[in-house]
Amino acid sequence: MATKTAQTKKSTVPENRWDKVKSTAKNVNKFILESAEDLVDGALKNGEQWQGVAAKATHGGLELTAKQTDIVFSTLETVKRQLIKNAPRFRKLFSFSK
């Protein structure tokens, strides 16, 4: 039997394979950092907007509460005046004595 010698074939892969891997890793890392920065910036911007909305809602709610409180006390004062003014009439209406 004849023996054949194995011929070594040169690799078709370029010699700078590690350089390409490093370059790709750097590009991926750069993209991830930029994306993370964009996300943080967007979150901060939206947070500021919602903080403004919350401040307006709180301020508006406090004004509404103040107005409602004024209305309640005004109504109570009116009812009190009417009860004092009409007390003798109420006594006659609701008394059970004959």
What lies within 8 Å, CB to CB, of 14 at 6+ separation is 20
| Total-model pTM | 0.43
Using CA atoms, how far apart are residues 64 and 76, in angstroms rounded to an integer?
A: 18
Residue with tokens 């010698």: 5
- Number of Cα atoms under 13 Å in the Cβ half of residue 87: 4
pLDDT tens per residue across span 11-68: 555 667 888 888 899 999 999 999 999 999 999 999 999 998 888 888 888 889 999 9
Compute CA 71 distance to the chain's CA centroid, rounded to the nearest angstrom.
34
The structural domains of the chain, with segments of one domain joined by +, span 23-94
